[in-house]
Amino acid sequence: MKTKLEESLKFPCFFTYKVIGIAKPELIDNVIKVIQLRIPGDYIPIIKSSSKGNYLSISITIYANNFTQIENLYNDINKINIVRMVL
């Protein structure tokens, strides 16, 4: 059974992840490395810091060929130990 998200997307398409994690220097590199393992390319993330500087928000857009790619990347990014949330 397809989810609402899956039904609303027409592939191939651009898809943006928002990753929230602990503000450590390696967070950005780790997220980009995980994405490049599945979908090689040059990525330009948009990075914002929380008001107290404890967390970083990273928005990064990929070009997905199917919903499985989106799901697999979501799961892989979530496995990074300093990531707290993936939207």
Q: Is 41 left (phi over 0), alpha (psi -120 to 50) or beta?
A: left
In the predicted model, is pLDDT for residue 4 greater than 90? Answer: no
| Distance, CA of 46 to CA of 1 (rounded, Å) | 33
Count of domains observed in the chain = 1
Q: Are 53 and 23 within 8 A, CB to CB?
A: yes
Residue 5: pLDDT band (50, 70, 90) is confident
Q: Which range marks the domain in which residue 50 is found?
A: 16-86
The domain spanning residue 29 has which CATH number?
3.30.70.260
Within a domain: 11: no
Per-residue pLDDT of 38-73, as tens digits, reads 999 999 999 999 999 999 999 999 999 999 999 999
Average pLDDT along the chain: 94
Where are the extended beta strands (E) located within 8-80? Answer: 13-22, 46-49, 55-64
Q: What is the pTM of this model?
A: 0.90
Return the exposure string of 12-26: e unless at least 16 CB atoms fall within 10 Å of the residue's CB, then b.
eeebebebbbeeeee
